[in-house]
């Protein structure tokens, strides 16, 4: 008999996990997501839904009662409640890892204690702490909300002493931390999975291009030396080794101009920079996550085709319904997330441009440029 999978969050990641679950009907018979938005993306591919806030204790209990295994697609779940329902359903990755990761300050302390290279940071509880941190790190520096941030929405870059008060006020009393700004050459990431039996596999290193703190493109494989990609994979393995729990983790890193690698942050879940694996790799990150939490042998992680992934984001100046996006091109795979309403910089879908043997990354990037107009989000009238 297949197991019932509960997922905290039913957005695009929950949607693609649900689709992966449907590819293994013997192992998973049903998916239930907990999400506050009615008709969230995961329900559109067959998941049942409990409509509720991600952190609501009663609803998490209900989900645990109905499920055999619980996982999550977002970091902002309630780790205490998830811990308390572990007797009712298996929770993967472990709520303890979630508790550490969901607070950026605890996460950075944890990484530092485990000798994983990161940028310097301090806790900020007052404007005085902030001033002290800036005196230590210099400008620019990044002030970050410790919790509930995503797509860079919890970051404020402080460029000079003129920005200090505005930055502090911007967060309106939230718990904060300050980080030294890393002058990086590239941003890269590794998707690493561990199953319940301890088997670990890392997908090859990819390169991420952000604009305004939000991921725009992923290039697989990363255009870096073999030495750097090996080093990054080692860091990812070390990171997952010190963290508890089964599942797939996204490890975001910076490569500096001195070729040092610093971890930016860990996502205890499938990750946007792993969407290329849907078409490029032996196993997709979504299948791998399910294999990991079910205790199955992990799938192969070989990159079969170089691939460029492009995020389709809502235009900055528009909120509302938009024209359907369709594209029909060889080796181009469009995935829309079924979100009816576009909002500024909201992730509405992605495009994977998959390479044939012999096609270079430069060629794929050019091809992507020629396709961007076709996947532009246009308001419907």
Q: Is the dihedral of CA 268, 271, 273, 277 positive or negative?
A: positive
- Nearest distance from C-beta of residue 79 to Mg ion, angstroms: 19
For position 311 contacting ligand ATP by CB under 6 A, the verdict is no
Query: Under rule CB under 6 A, how many of the chain's residues touch ligand ATP?
Result: 20
For position 19 contacting ligand ATP by CB under 6 A, the verdict is no
For position 152 contacting ligand ATP by CB under 6 A, the verdict is yes
For position 139 contacting ligand ATP by CB under 6 A, the verdict is no
Distance CA 26, CA 169 (A): 53
Nearer to ligand ATP, 85 or 263 (CB): 263
Q: What x-and-dash track marks residues 159-198 binding ligand ATP by CB under 6 A?
A: --------------------x-xx----x-----------
To the nearest 10°, the Cα dihedral for 283, 215, 308, 11?
A: 40
> For residue 189, what are the contacts with CB-CB under 8 A and spacing of at least 6?
205, 206, 208, 218, 250, 251, 252, 253, 271, 273, 274
Interface stretch with ligand ATP, choices 28-36, 49-57, 152-160, 167-175 (CB under 6 A):
152-160
Among 150, 360, 370, 378, binds ligand ATP (CB under 6 A): 150
For position 236 contacting ligand ATP by CB under 6 A, the verdict is no
| Number of other residues whose CB lies within 10 A of the CB of residue 224 | 19
Nearer to ligand ATP, 13 or 89 (CB): 13
For position 215 contacting ligand ATP by CB under 6 A, the verdict is yes
For position 213 contacting ligand ATP by CB under 6 A, the verdict is yes
| Number of other residues whose CB lies within 10 A of the CB of residue 62 | 17
- Nearest distance from C-beta of residue 252 to Mg ion, angstroms: 5
Return the residue matching tokens 């794929």. Answer: 364
Rounded to 5°, angle at Cα 328 from 325 and 329: 130
Reduce the DSSP state of residue 94 to 3 states and report it. Answer: coil
For position 154 contacting ligand ATP by CB under 6 A, the verdict is yes
Return the residue matching tokens 């645990």. Answer: 64
- Nearest distance from C-beta of residue 311 to Mg ion, angstroms: 13
Residues of this chain that bind Mg ion (CB under 5 A): 252, 265
Q: Which of positions 101-120 make contact with ligand ATP (CB under 6 A)?
A: 119
Dihedral-angle region of residue 212 (phi above 0 means left; psi in -120 to 50 means alpha; beta otherwise): left
Whole-number Cα distances in Å, 321 to 2, 325, 340: 38, 12, 6
Among 265, 301, 334, 351, binds ligand ATP (CB under 6 A): 265
Q: How many CA atoms lie within 13 A of 148 on its CB side?
A: 7
Among 210, 302, 372, 376, binds ligand ATP (CB under 6 A): 210
Contacts with ligand ATP by CB under 6 A lie at 119, 142, 144, 149-155, 179, 181-182, 187, 210, 213, 215, 252, 264-265
């Amino acid at each position: 008999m297949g197991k019932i999978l509960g997922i905290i969050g039913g957005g695009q990641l929950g949607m693609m996990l649900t689709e992966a679950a449907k590819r293994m009907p013997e192992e998973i018979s049903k998916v239930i997501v907990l999400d506050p938005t009615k008709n969230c993306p995961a329900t559109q591919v067959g998941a049942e839904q409990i409509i509720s806030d991600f952190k609501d204790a009663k609803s998490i209990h209900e989900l645990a009662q109905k499920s055999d295994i619980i996982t999550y697609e977002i970091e902002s779940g309630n780790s205490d409640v998830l811990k308390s329902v572990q007797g009712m359903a298996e929770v993967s990755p472990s709520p303890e890892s979630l508790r550490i990761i969901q607070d950026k300050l605890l996460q950075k302390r944890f990484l530092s204690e485990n000798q994983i290279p990161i940028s310097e940071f301090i806790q900020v509880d007052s404007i005085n702490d902030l001033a002290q941190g800036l005196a230590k790190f210099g400008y620019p520096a990044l002030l970050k909300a410790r919790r509930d941030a995503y797509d860079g929405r919890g970051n404020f870059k402080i460029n000079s002493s003129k920005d200090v008060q505005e930055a502090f006020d911007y967060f309106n009393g939230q718990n904060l931390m300050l980080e030294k700004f890393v002058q990086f050459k590239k941003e890269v990431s590794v998707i690493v999975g561990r199953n319940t039996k301890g088997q670990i596999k890392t997908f090859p290193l990819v390169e991420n291009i952000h604009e305004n703190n939000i991921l725009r493109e992923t290039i697989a494989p990363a255009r870096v030396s073999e030495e750097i990609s090996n080093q990054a994979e080692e860091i990812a393995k070390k990171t997952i080794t010190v963290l508890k729990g089964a599942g797939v983790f996204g490890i975001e890193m910076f490569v500096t101009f001195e070729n040092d690698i610093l971890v930016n942050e860990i996502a205890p879940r499938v990750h946007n920079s792993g969407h290329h694996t849907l078409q490029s790799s032996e196993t997709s990150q979504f299948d791998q996550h399910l294999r990991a939490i079910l205790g199955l042998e992990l799938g192969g992680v070989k990159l079969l085709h170089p691939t460029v992934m492009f995020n389709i984001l809502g235009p900055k100046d528009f909120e509302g319904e938009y024209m359907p996006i369709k594209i029909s091109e060889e080796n181009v795979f469009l995935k829309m997330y079924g979100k009816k309403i576009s909002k500024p910089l909201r992730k509405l879908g992605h495009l994977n441009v998959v390479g044939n043997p012999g096609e270079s990354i430069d060629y794929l990037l050019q091809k992507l440029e020629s396709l961007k107009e076709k996947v532009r989000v246009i308001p419907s009238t």
